[in-house]
Amino acid sequence: MKNIVYILILFTTHFIFSQKKADTLPQLDLYKITLINQTDSYITFPTDIGNIEPLMFEANVNPSFVIRQRKDSKLLAVLTPQITIRMYSENSYPVRTPSYIPQVSFYYKANKKEALNCLILFGKIVHHSNGQDGDFYNEDNTINLLTGNFATNFFELGFLKTAYSNKLKAIKTIKSSIEVNPKSWMLQELHGKYSGLRWHNSFTSFKFPLKDDENERANFSLKVETTLMLDSYNDLKVFDLDRFNASLTFYYHPKFLEDIGLFVQFYQGMDYYNIYFEHQLSIIRFGIMTEILRF
């Protein structure tokens, strides 16, 4: 009888402490995971270092509109009317050929082995254009960067894996996806010049407050993103470095700011600003970023 009582006490003690530990962990549902996967909204300062044209700022506006049946749904959709603009440091400070990237994304929670350890499958359909209708080429056969028409559509399929680090008290995510731009979905002038098959990978670390310490947050974080162009385009060799894009972003959240923070980003690769895709950038930039789910 004493042995049975002793076992019950041990079991109850273990359950209570385990439950307490689980209850204090940050909460991560499918809704928050989808926001992790969205492109950040930011504004850069006019202090870019590198070979990009002098800018007053670059801004990315990317609000998320979530569609789901209920809070605990395993499937949801996200509509994002993403817009990226650059204001050039020139006479009258022109804003040229903004990138319009509206998209719809679908997320499905495939499994949840333990707290904060989830596998999410996702897919998206995206339109990318610059709102121009001029000729793609100038008379000298160069690309018309000012008014030339740029348009492509693509779909992307991938997965997002989350895990929790007790040491860092942070949620880590690994994302991998394949982007496909079918030729029938692209402007004809882009055929053979613009990569239609891309492999994206990223690693991020997000810190959420514990339930018993809502004021806890990290001051710094890191985000690494890479893209590899897999198809044949622009006469590039298989191992040409122009096929590879990489970015490294450090984020800092000052204690005196509530919803935004400061970031510095190192970027090397193809210019992602619509019709400027033939430019290769190597830049360091600074700016402010919104904090939807930041540390």
pLDDT tens digits for range 92-101 = 999 989 999 9
Per-residue burial over 182-197, b = 16 or more CB atoms within 10 Å of its CB, e = otherwise: eeeebbebbeeebbbb
Residue 286 predicted with pLDDT over 50: yes
**CA pair distance 260, 254, nearest whole angstrom:** 9
Classify residue 283: in a domain, yes or no.
yes
Q: Rounded mean pLDDT of 66-83? A: 89
pLDDT at 195: 96
Cβ atoms of residues 272 and 264 within 8 Å: no
Quote the mean pLDDT of the chain. 85
Angle ∠(232,236,238) on CA atoms, nearest 5: 75
Instruction: Tell me if 11 is assigned to some domain.
Output: no
Locate 220 and state its tokens. 């710094």
Q: Give a yes or no: residue 10 inside a domain.
A: no
Apex CA 198: angle with CA 118 and CA 247, to 5°?
75
With 90 as the cut, is the pLDDT of residue 23 above it?
no
Does position 267 have pLDDT exceeding 80, yes or no? yes
Query: What angle (nearest 5°) sits at the alpha carbon of residue 239, between those of residues 236 and 245?
Result: 85
Per-residue pLDDT, averaged over 174-186, amounts to 96
Q: Look up the CATH number of the domain holding residue 113.
A: 2.40.230.10
Encode pLDDT of 184-238 as tens digits: 999 999 999 999 999 999 998 876 655 545 555 556 788 999 999 999 999 999 9
Q: Which residues span the domain enclosing 250?
A: 27-290
Q: Percentage of the chain surpassing pLDDT 90?
A: 61
Look at residue 27 in the predicted model and tell me its pLDDT: 63
Higher pLDDT, 80 or 219: 80
Whether 295 shows a pLDDT value over 50: the answer reads no
Examine residue 199 and state whether it is found in any structural domain, yes or no.
Answer: yes
pTM of the model: 0.85
C-alpha dist (Å) from residue 8 to 15, 53, 114, 216: 10, 71, 25, 36
pLDDT digits (tens, 9 = 90+) for 85-131: 999 999 999 998 999 999 999 999 987 656 678 899 999 999 999 99
At residue 9, the pLDDT reads: 38
Percent of the chain past pLDDT 70, that is, above it, reads: 83
Tell me whether residue 15 is in a domain.
no
- Report residue 156 as tokens: 């992307």
Tell me, yes or no, whether 114 lies in a domain: yes
Is the residue at 126 inside a domain? yes
Tokens representing residue 275 in the block: 């019709």
Return the pLDDT at 271: 96
Number of domains in the chain: 1
Give the whole-angstrom CA distance, residue 255 versus residue 13. 38
Q: What is the per-residue DSSP string for 200-263?
A: EEEEEEE---BTTBTT---SEEEEEEEEEE-S--TT--TT-GGGEEEEEEEEE--TT-SSEEEE
- pLDDT value, residue 128: 98
**Range from 137-141, 166-170, 216-220 carrying the lowest mean pLDDT:** 216-220
Between 101-105, 231-235, 241-245, 257-261, the lowest mean confidence (pLDDT) is in 257-261
Q: How confident is the model at residue 5 (pLDDT cuts 50, 70, 90)?
A: very low
Nearest Cα neighbor of 225 from 253, 197, 250 is 250
- Above 50 in pLDDT, residue 15? no
Kindly state whether residue 83 falls inside one of the protein's structural domains: yes
In this prediction, residue 8 carries a pLDDT of 40
Backbone angles phi, psi at 13, to 5 degrees: -65, -45
